[in-house]
Amino acid sequence: MDYVRQTEAFSDFRWRRLAMGTAAAATLVALAPSSAEAAIPNLDPHSAPSAVRPGSAGALGPLADIAVRPGSAGALGPLADIAVQRILLGDKVAEAKFGTDQPIDDPAREQQELDAVAAMASSEGIDPDASVRFFQAQIEANKVVQRGLYALWTKHPELRPSERPDLATEVRPELDQITTEIIQRLKATQDVRGDTARCRSLLLDAKPSAELRSRLDALHRKALTVALRSVCTSD
């Protein structure tokens, strides 16, 4: 799927999630800080759209329920965008796993994904080690989202998702599509990524631009920081 079609499809998914009125957001605004909110730093409920579905991250702040739009700043913008898309899918992963015996940490599955990334990177002629490091960061970023949402839903059962997506048939195919796109964007940015001042400058443009366009809340901004941590490193 090309970038525009993938973004449009993701936008459709995100907008379908906007189903609830202001009640859930108002509930969070009224609550005092707790262990659930502590998992999400710099929470600012007043800065977010209030019409969000219970259980979505949109009840928490400037929300990830707004789809990523193309046109990121700078050479690393498209890479930051695809990292955001994968982070936002972390909501669906959390919805699929929460309340089941499926753990957040799944070392066997993660190793399969990393082995596949290494093979794909080699076939595309890009550094497999750097690609694996980047993808490891994507996995950890996804866990940040899952743990944050688990904390919220555990503390506030009324905000738990009302639907459970199928992890195998619905969520993982979307993740696999994004993995393919990640490899292409790693290839496109291989000349600018690395432990250089130029890379860090480009990342300073790309990261906040992606955050603003996609209106990420504090939880998802934290996850994006994790997702992009290896971009300008050499090991």
Residue 233 lies in a domain: no
Mean pLDDT of the 136-165 span = 97
pLDDT for 53 beyond 70: no
Provide the Cα torsion 220, 221, 223, 226; round to 10°. 170
Question: What confidence score (pLDDT) does residue 31 get?
Answer: 38
| DSSP-assigned letter for residue 14 | H
What per-residue confidence (pLDDT) applies to 173?
Answer: 96
The predicted model gives 174-200 an average pLDDT of 97
DSSP state of 170: I
Summarised one tens digit per residue, pLDDT across range 10-28 is 444 444 443 333 333 333 3
pLDDT at 195 over 90: yes
Residue 224 has pLDDT above 70, yes or no: yes
Average pLDDT over the chain, rounded to an integer: 79
Q: pTM score, two decimals? A: 0.72
CATH number at residue 194: 1.20.59.10
Report which residue type is found at 217. Answer: D
Tell me: pLDDT of 30 over 50.
Answer: no
Per-residue pLDDT tens digits for 110-132: 999 999 999 999 999 999 999 99
Does residue 199 form part of some domain? yes
Provide the number of structural domains found in the chain.
1
Q: For residues 79 and 229, is the Cβ–Cβ distance under 8 A?
A: no
Q: What is the mean pLDDT of residues 152-172?
A: 96
Task: Examine residue 36 and state whether it is found in any structural domain, yes or no.
Answer: yes
Please tell me the total number of residues recorded for the chain in this structure: 235
Contact (Cβ atoms closer than 8 angstroms) between residue 144 and residue 226: yes
Within a domain: 110: yes
Q: Is residue 235 part of a domain?
A: no
Cα–Cα distances (Å) from 19 to 42, 51, 95, 185, in that order, read: 25, 7, 16, 33
For 190-213, what is the mean pLDDT? 96
64 belongs to a structural domain: yes
Confidence of residue 234 (pLDDT cuts 50, 70, 90): confident
Domain that holds residue 173: 3-227
